[in-house]
């Protein structure tokens, strides 16, 4: 986020283990293994000088954010990363005004004020599929609401380091989460999903705007992606590879959901296939999560699931003081 990070912000594996033993860090989480940084959507072409030159030029052109700050509704938000807005709106721009109704972007406050009061949009131009306690979700088809979805992707890129979808939105559905109050509909974040994924990916990209982060909205959208997957009669998984932050978010989500279901289930030990059917999770994600939790072990050549109540309660303890914004499936009008 364009700031120097001091040594005090880093922890070692030994410090992590100490935090775990003191109960200050979830026992099921670990530091991610080091791996090469990969840019989503870009093919790997080793030993191709022309491609490597293009990569260097792209990195050089986009390593510094081009828009310093945006005004979106009631918030002024500092931007984090480069976003490929048209040059007219992104070269040496200290402040960009974005209409929270239609996501149109403007350089002038006067233009913004004039547009906002004339804007015909009242919210995302899609189907309202969820409404409860001031939270609304709109489903948009990229091919139909093309301009809005393109503007949404440009906005998202200001807060996402690696994202390559900007203008080709036709193959995707977009699920936009909004807060609703007496003053109107306010976009909070979204996730996108391929209409037809050969790998059964049920989430391609997810972003929560900075003013709304740390409220559980990311988990809320992940929960929505799996509820839709279940209703499709399928199993799904997020698009790979996951970022480090994405991996932590999903590991925590999978762990909580699986532990909660196992604790509430019968004493009969379920198979991975049964758990997959109930949750919509891919069997490989379930297996990996249960293994990381120490619940899935090898015994005489067989995988055995430990469902001891005391063990499950102990693993759920780190989640007790966390407040989650939970999706109510009864309020989801989908399909």
Q: Is residue 242 part of a domain?
A: no
pLDDT value of residue 70: 97
pLDDT value of residue 40: 42
Strands 93-98 and 105-106: antiparallel
- Residue 174, number of CB atoms within 10 A of its CB: 23
pLDDT value of residue 59: 61
Domain CATH code at residue 108: 3.30.60.60
Q: Is residue 70 part of a domain?
A: yes
Nearest-CA neighbor of 193 among 248, 230, 238? 238
Q: Is residue 107 part of a domain?
A: yes
pLDDT value of residue 75: 97
Residues of the chain where predicted confidence (pLDDT) is lower than 50:
1, 34-45
- Which pair of tokens denotes residue 220? 């809320």
**Residue among 100, 139, 227, 239 flagged as catalytic:** 239
Q: Is residue 322 part of a domain?
A: no
Q: Which domain holds residue 89?
A: 57-121
Q: Is residue 246 part of a domain?
A: no
Question: Considering Cα of 119, then 125, then 128, then 133, what sign does the dihedral take?
Answer: negative
Q: Is residue 216 part of a domain?
A: no
Nearest-CA neighbor of 206 among 280, 132, 156, 167? 156
Q: Is residue 86 part of a domain?
A: yes
Measure the CA–CA gap between 131 and 100, rounded to whole angstroms.
19
Measure the CA–CA gap between 39 and 210, rounded to whole angstroms.
22
Q: Is residue 239 among the annotated active site residues?
A: yes
Count up the domains in the chain and report the number: 1
pLDDT value of residue 49: 75
Q: Is residue 220 part of a domain?
A: no
pLDDT value of residue 213: 92
State in Å, rounded, how far the first CA of the chain is from the last one. Answer: 38
């Amino acid at each position: 986020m364009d700031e120097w990070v001091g040594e005090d912000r880093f922890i070692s594996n030994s410090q992590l283990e100490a935090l775990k033993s003191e109960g200050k860090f979830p026992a099921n989480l670990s530091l991610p293994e080091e791996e090469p940084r990969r840019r989503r959507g870009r093919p790997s072409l080793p030993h191709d000088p022309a491609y490597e030159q293009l990569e260097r030029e792209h990195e050089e052109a986009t390593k510094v954010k081009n828009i310093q700050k945006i005004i979106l509704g009631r918030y002024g938000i500092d931007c984090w990363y480069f976003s490929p807005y048209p040059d007219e709106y992104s070269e040496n721009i200290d402040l960009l005004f974005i209409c929270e109704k239609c996501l149109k972007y403007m350089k002038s406050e006067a233009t913004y004020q004039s547009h906002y009061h004339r804007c015909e949009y009242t919210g995302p131009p899609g189907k309202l599929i969820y409404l409860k306690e001031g939270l609304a979700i709109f489903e948009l088809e990229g091919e139909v609401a093309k301009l809005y979805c393109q503007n949404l992707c440009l906005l998202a890129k200001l807060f996402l380091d690696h994202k390559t979808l900007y203008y080709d939105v036709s193959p995707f559905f977009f699920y936009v989460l909004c807060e609703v109050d007496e003053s109107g509909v306010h976009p909070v974040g979204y996730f996108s999903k391929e209409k037809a994924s050969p790998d059964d990916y049920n989430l391609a990209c997810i972003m929560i705007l900075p003013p709304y982060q740390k409220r559980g909205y990311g988990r809320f959208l992940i929960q929505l992606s799996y509820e839709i997957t279940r209703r499709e009669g399928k199993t799904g998984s997020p698009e790979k590879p996951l970022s480090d932050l994405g991996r932590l978010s999903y590991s925590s989500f999978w762990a909580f959901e699986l532990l909660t279901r196992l604790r509430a289930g019968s004493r009969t030990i379920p198979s991975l296939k049964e758990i997959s059917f109930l949750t919509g999770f891919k069997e490989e994600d379930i297996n990996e999560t249960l293994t990381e939790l120490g619940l899935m072990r090898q015994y005489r050549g067989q995988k055995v699931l430990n469902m001891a109540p005391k063990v499950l309660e102990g693993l759920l303890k780190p989640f007790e003081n966390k407040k989650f914004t939970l999706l109510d499936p009864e309020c989801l009008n989908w399909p």
